[in-house]
Amino acid sequence: MAQQPEGKSMNLTMDAANVFREDVYTDRKVGTIRCLTPVTSDGAPDPSRKATYVGEAQILTPMGAIPVTFEIEADGLADAVKKYEAAAKEGVERTLKEIQEYRRQQASSIVIPQGGGGGMPGMGGGGGKIQMP
């Protein structure tokens, strides 16, 4: 959960005009599809809004499983199942790009402080330790 600025209270009020019922479908092998069906605040189906399909998969890495979530543009569950593979591949590619960008940002954030003489350790100048900001 995001940090709240000092003195600000969190808004935990649900949007009654934007409520969904969630149904989960899985083949117990590859992944999961969540169908978010729009409902009114009393739980009745809301035909004025379209259902949303969200796919879920995992990327297995040496550090463990990374969850991947992606939207599937579909007109129904059968259509979402058919489009799952293409949407999952796109979601995995997007996630891998985000991981690479995160690694790049972390690698470029290493700071070597300027020591007394600015020299290298063992060269008579003041060396420093590598610090992460």
- Residue-level pLDDT, tens digit, the chain, 133 residues: 455 566 678 889 999 999 999 999 999 999 999 999 999 999 999 999 999 999 999 988 888 999 999 999 999 999 999 999 999 999 999 999 998 998 888 888 766 666 655 555 555 555 555 555 5
| Model pLDDT, residue 50 | 96
* 0.75 surpassed by pTM: no
Spatial separation of the C-alpha atoms in residues 16 and 39, rounded to whole Å: 9
Exposure of 70 by Cβ count < 10 A (0-12 exposed, 13-18 middle, 19+ buried)? buried
Q: Supply angle C-alpha 19, 25, 28, rounded to 5.
A: 145
